[in-house]
Amino acid sequence: MTDTIRAVRGMKDLLPPESRRWQQVEAVSREIFARYGYQEIRLPLLERTELFARSIGADTDIVAKEMYTFTDRHGDSLTLRPEATAQVVRAYLENGLHLGAGVKKFFTIGPMFRYERPQKGRYRQFHQINGEALGVDVPELDVEVILLLLDILKHLGLRDLELLINSLGCPVCQVDFKARLTIFLARREGWCDDCLRRRAANPLRVLDCKSQNCQALLMEAPLLRDCLDDDCRRHYDRVLELLSRFGVPYTEQPRLVRGLDYYTRTAFEVTAGGLGAQDAVAGGGRYNGLVKELGGPDLPGIGFAIGQDRLMEILPEQDSPAPPRIFLAALGPPARETAFSLLRELRRQGLAAEFDFQDRSLKAQLSLANRLGASFTVILGDRELAQGRVLVRRMDGGEQQTLPLDGLAAALAALIAREKDEHRV
């Protein structure tokens, strides 16, 4: 017998009823994005490899180790997207969305791909909810983006949240800091192999190392906040002031750098309990040089990403009922003909309806109705056709009533509307 083909390691099927929870998360996210004036942008899964190498940083773990990259039949190097921000900027420029004054706000929802070790809440095909705001560099926008992120998470029912925040300064600030950090790194021994490579290519990446040993060595490292120029200091102080004004608790994390090279000024993460050591469920920051790096004008940007897979691990269990469903149990060919036409009418009334295509016994059809979670079953046979009336059975209690066959779809729609008002379905 041929072996069953299994899913690729680190990639999983999303099945009902779990898929309904995902839909609800995405619906809530879309609603909150709309309140803040964000519009959805849908992007391809494949991009030219150069887009990510230039934006993320060639020495980052993502580019060096984790991207799914291949050469197509025309010799072009293509990559399954590992993140969305660079894609949004590419579309922003290519489609002229950057033209005109003001902030341009977009969101994306969809899968990303990174070849890394699968663990709780982390997969090789993972899903993100991204928000991006481009065109303006003011601290008020930074705070609005953070408030938007927290609003989404709180509307989804998360309460045990912590906002970690830092300023990475501008490229001028980073020159001074990198010089100090390079001297510090050279004077210490015991770095992991990755950090030995990182400290030569981009010493900031060492701060993002997940090794406990390296993090212990970094406890005495210089801090970027000590290298901020006056403009970057004022920007950061204003962000913290506004967060305090709106009652948003935060923790300054002076070694927070995020994992991508394009971040500048404000950087932040939101952590949540229930995910173990890697407890960040969302994060983001400013990327003021990215648009220019990708060939556009020198326009600023800020955004965030929510790890949807990690989010689903910690969301409180909530009742996610399916919409009320009607099952048509038909006995005999004439009844089946009538039921199949009725199925169409019920759906045109906006009702969820099902039908047994296998022409089985009434007992088997009622069993199927239960498995499908039907609220009502309509029983229709030769006698019901002759009388012009059908039997309608409530599945959770067994109560039955008869309704006229003529106008049945409208009558069932009215019945379910009444039941909803009474909170019975």
Q: What is the pLDDT of residue 416?
A: 82
Domains in the chain: boundaries: 18-170+229-314, 325-415
Cα–Cα dist 113/92, whole Å: 22
Q: What is the pLDDT of residue 275?
A: 54
Q: What is the pLDDT of residue 109?
A: 96
Cα–Cα dist 131/143, whole Å: 13
Neighbours of 213 (CB within 10 A): 12
Beta strand pairing call for 251-252 and 161-167 = parallel
Cis bond upstream, residue 17 (ω within 30): yes
CATH architecture assigned to 18-170+229-314: 2-Layer Sandwich (3.30)
Digits of tens for pLDDT over the chain (425 positions)? 678 889 888 888 888 888 888 999 999 999 999 999 999 999 999 999 989 888 776 656 666 678 889 898 999 999 999 999 999 999 999 999 999 888 999 999 999 998 877 766 678 899 999 999 999 999 999 999 999 999 999 999 888 889 999 999 888 888 888 888 888 888 888 888 877 777 777 787 788 777 788 888 888 888 888 889 999 999 999 999 999 999 999 999 888 887 677 888 999 999 987 555 557 899 999 999 899 999 999 999 999 999 998 898 888 776 556 678 899 999 999 999 998 988 888 888 888 888 888 888 989 988 998 888 888 999 999 998 999 999 989 888 878 889 898 888 888 888 888 777 665 55
Q: What is the pLDDT of residue 242?
A: 95
Question: Left if phi > 0, otherwise alpha if psi is -120 to 50, otherwise beta: which for 202?
Answer: beta
Q: What pTM did the predictor assign?
A: 0.83
Q: For the domain bounded by 325-415, which CATH number is listed?
A: 3.40.50.800
Any residues with CB less than 8 A from the CB of 348 and at least 6 apart, and which?
A: 409
Q: Under a CB-based contact definition with an 8 Å cutoff, are residues 177 and 222 in contact?
A: yes
Q: What is the pLDDT of residue 424?
A: 53
